[in-house]
């Protein structure tokens, strides 16, 4: 594993993607102390201030992963971040499907996985797994528009917490990624998913629907029941509770 630690990066995902395209191997990782243009899901930005967060991107080249299997990378990372947060901080970490991590009711971590697929085989060529964790409150607070949503893992400075979170996350993630069975990670993912049994609004393919979440299956797909009694299944999308 090769790790580059940078004082600042535009976006660690963008940099690792460039490295992937020029042949870097699996395990190549960039860890930055701030991002000047951190990216989130669905074209959003990710607030990445100096010193208070962990911003990392990891290059993966799994063999024979279809697009369905590629989704696992994100959910394995979500489970691994939760376990790491709980181990290092003692706080309970919860998952809002698919991959937002909450502590004390506020979002403390976002995950953005970007895949590049081989056009002929349809298999994953590489994936860049990007993880952003708000470890501490930013020095000047969160921007107004994030104030009610975003939070930090720790309320007070804790020695070495950032390094310990990164190393615990990597150990957990590789454990799940290399395990012969998916059972352990799915169990960890499912037991921290706080949307099960709740009524949610589901945004997928530009359409919003209300539904009750019935559960999460072994592919980490969301199983829902709509008001008219019919059922649905989602492998991606955005929910609000
Ligand atoms: C989200 O919540 O929408 C996903 C946020 C992902 C942020 C991480 S920080 C490290 C990596 N580099 C980026 O530009 N984004 C991801």
Determine the pLDDT at residue 97. Answer: 95
Determine the pLDDT at residue 40. Answer: 96
> Is the C-beta atom of 130 inside 6 A of ligand 1?
yes
In this structure, is the dihedral angle defined by the CA atoms of residues 177, 181, 186 and 191, taken in order, positive or negative? Answer: negative
Q: In this structure, what token pair is assigned to residue 63?
A: 């063999």
Does ipTM come in above 0.95? yes
In this prediction, the residues of the chain whose per-residue pLDDT falls under 70 are none
Determine the pLDDT at residue 206. Answer: 81
Pocket test for ligand 1, best of 17, 39, 77, 115 (most atoms within 8 A of CB): 39
Global confidence as pTM: 0.95
Pocket test for ligand 1, best of 58, 112, 134, 169 (most atoms within 8 A of CB): 112
* 14-29: pLDDT as tens digits: 999 999 999 999 999 9
Query: How are beta strands 3-6 and 29-32 bridged, if at all?
Result: parallel
3 state DSSP class of 198: coil
Determine the pLDDT at residue 36. Answer: 98
> Is the C-beta atom of 35 inside 6 A of ligand 1?
yes
Determine the pLDDT at residue 204. Answer: 82
Kindly give the distance from the C-alpha atom of residue 181 to the centroid of ligand 1, in angstroms, as a whole number: 28
Alpha-carbon Rg of the chain, whole angstroms? 17
> Is the C-beta atom of 132 inside 6 A of ligand 1?
yes
> Is the C-beta atom of 57 inside 6 A of ligand 1?
yes
The residue among 211, 214, 215, 190 whose CA lies nearest residue 201 is 211
């Amino acid at each position: 594993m090769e790790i580059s630690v940078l004082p600042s990066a535009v976006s660690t995902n963008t940099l690792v993607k460039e490295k992937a395209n020029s042949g870097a191997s699996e395990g190549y990782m960039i860890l930055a102390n701030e991002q000047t243009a951190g990216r989130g899901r669905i074209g959003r930005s990710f607030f990445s201030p100096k010193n208070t967060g962990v911003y990392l991107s990891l290059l993966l080249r799994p063999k024979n992963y279809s697009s369905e299997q590629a989704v696992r990378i994100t959910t394995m990372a979500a489970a691994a971040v939760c376990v790491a947060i709980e181990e290092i901080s003692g706080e309970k970490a919860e998952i809002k499907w698919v991959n937002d991590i909450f502590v004390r009711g506020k979002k403390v971590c976002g995950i953005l996985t970007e895949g590049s697929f081989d056009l002929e085989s349809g298999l994953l060529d590489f994936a860049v797994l990007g993880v952003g964790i708000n470890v501490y409150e930013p020095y000047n607070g969160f921007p107004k528009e994030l104030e009610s949503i975003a939070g930090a893992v720790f309320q007070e400075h804790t020695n070495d917490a950032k390094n310990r979170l990164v190393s615990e996350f990597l150990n957990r993630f590789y454990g799940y990624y290399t395990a012969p069975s998916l059972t352990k990670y799915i169990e960890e993912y499912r037991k921290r998913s706080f949307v099960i049994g709740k009524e949610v609004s589901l945004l997928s393919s530009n359409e919003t629907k209300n539904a009750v979440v019935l559960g999460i299956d072994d592919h980490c797909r969301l199983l829902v029941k709509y008001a008219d009694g019919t059922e649905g299944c989602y492998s991606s999308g955005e929910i609000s509770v």
